[in-house]
Amino acid sequence: MNEFVNPVEPFLRSDRMPHIWCPGCGIGTTVNCFARALIESKIDLESLALVSGIGCTGRVAGYVKLDSFHTTHGRAIPFATGLKLANPKLNVVVYSGDGDLSAIGGNHLIHAARRNIDLKVICVNNLIYAMTGGQTAPTTPDHAITSTNPYGVFEPAFNLPHLVEAAGAVYVARWTTFHVRQLARSMAEAFQKKGFSFIEVISPCPTLYQRRNKLGDGLDTMKYYKEKSKVRHGAPTSEVGLTMTGEIVVGKFVDRDRPDYQTMMRAQYSEALGPQFVEQPEMVCS
């Protein structure tokens, strides 16, 4: 019987299936990649916590068999910051959508990158607010039709890799849901980094984005990702902005080292306080 067990099943709350995601949605694909990354990196699952915000991707926290927190809209990163600072032994992953992380949570995103909090942020970018019905997000490409820009979007979109690199992230990569092996490898690689890591996953929303923009179904989007993606590791992030039907630059853009928040904090306290500095003990107040 065992040979029929899906290898990612131990990472999922099977009792919560079926999930809420639409046919053709890419979020489930990213979760599959995440589970494979966990297998590959042999991370101790008991030390792994996953934090999500609100939205379609925000529901990931509810489907993974981990200590998992479905927080408030935009606030996954500050919640994760508290979790990590209180228990530095935890591997903390933030798994959320583009609207959650870069609009309502945009301030937290840049400040966590600036502080270099040791978090792995997986941003599933479906270019739209999907849960609420397809409204314009800060990531929606120019001219796209959305429910709140029915005549086409005219405000410029965020280039998320560029934003988080400028803010200080130590690891920045982008893949699409077509690039399942590369994405899983990138996630595993991020686990090896100490500091603020950011992986953007371009993912279809056939129900709201692709349909309204006459971009076909999930399969058509896979073909688009396959044909129009260009792997350019180390590409300057200023050049990786997205358009509606143009090239998608993917790859690992940033991989650098600088001390993370807690390392800097301990160093500063040690220098300033000398023997008066007391290391934070394990904070289990039970």
Partner 1 sequence: MKADPRGVLTGVHFIDGDHACCEGALAAGARFAAGYPITPSTEIVERFAARVPTVGGTFIQMEDELAASITLQGAVWGGAKAFTVTSGPGFSLMMEHIGYAAMTETPCVFVDVQRGGPSTGLPTLPAQADMMQARWGSHGDYEIIALCPNSPQECFDLTIKAFNLAEEFRVPVMFMMDEVVGHMTEKVIIPAADQIEVVPRKHTHKPLEEYLPYSTNGDLVPEIAHAGEGYKFHITGLTHDERGYPNMTAEVQGKLVRRLQNKIRAGADRLAMYEEEQLDDADVVVVSYGITSRVAQRAIDLARERGLRVGKLRLITAWPFPEKKISELAAHVKAFVVPELNLGQMVHEVERAAAGQARTIPVPHAGGSVHKPEEILKVIVEASQ
Please report whether residue 51 would count as binding partner 1 according to CB under 8 A.
yes
| 17 interacts with partner 1 by CB under 8 A | no
Residue among 33, 60, 61, 242 that touches partner 1 (CB under 8 A) = 61
**Contact pattern for partner 1 over residues 255 through 284, marking x by CB under 8 A:** ----------x---x---x--xxxxxxxxx
Q: Are 53 and 64 in contact (CB under 8 A)?
A: no
CB burial readout 172-209, b (16+ within 10 A) else e: bbbbbbbbeebbbbbbbbbbebbbbbbbbbbbbbbbbb
**Nearest one of 157, 162, 168 to 238, comparing CA atoms:** 162
193 interacts with partner 1 by CB under 8 A: no
Strand, coil or helix: 125: strand
Among 16, 226, 230, 256, binds partner 1 (CB under 8 A): 16
Nearer to partner 1, 150 or 275 (CB): 275
Q: 235 near 253, Cβ under 8 Å? A: yes
Residue 91 or 229 having the CB closest to partner 1? 91
Distances from the Cα of 165 to the Cα of 175, 234, 262, 277, angstroms: 16, 12, 20, 33
The contact pattern for partner 1, residues 120-139, with x = CB under 8 A and - = no contact, is --------------------
- Provide the token pair at 188: 């595993």
Binding mask 73-102 for partner 1 (x = CB under 8 A): -xx--xxxxxxxxxx-xx------------
Min dist. Cβ of residue 107 to partner 1 (A): 5
Q: Is 68 in the site for partner 1 (CB under 8 A)?
A: yes
Q: Where are the beta strands (DSSP E) in the chain?
A: 48-52, 67-70, 91-97, 120-125, 171-176, 197-202, 229-231, 248-255
Q: Which is nearer to partner 1, 129 or 225 (CB)?
A: 129
| Length of the chain, in residues | 286
Peptide bond into 23 cis (omega under 30): no
> Which of residues 71, 126, 140, 221 is near partner 1 by CB under 8 A?
71
For residue 210, the Cα-to-chain-centroid distance in whole angstroms is 21
State the sign of the Cα–Cα–Cα–Cα dihedral 281, 170, 111, 109.
negative
Count residues binding partner 1 (CB under 8 A). Answer: 48
Interface stretch with partner 1, choices 31-39, 57-65, 209-217, 238-246 (CB under 8 A): 57-65
Alpha-carbon distances, residue 274 vs 89, 91, 277 (angstroms):
24, 29, 6
Taking CB under 8 A as the rule, does residue 66 contact partner 1?
yes
Exactly one of 6, 9, 13, 257 binds partner 1 (CB under 8 A); that residue is 13
Binding window for partner 1 (CB under 8 A); candidates: 65-73, 128-136, 164-172, 181-189: 65-73
Residues near partner 1, by CB under 8 A? 13, 16, 45-47, 49, 51, 61-62, 65-72, 74-75, 78-87, 89-90, 107-108, 111, 265, 269, 273, 276-286
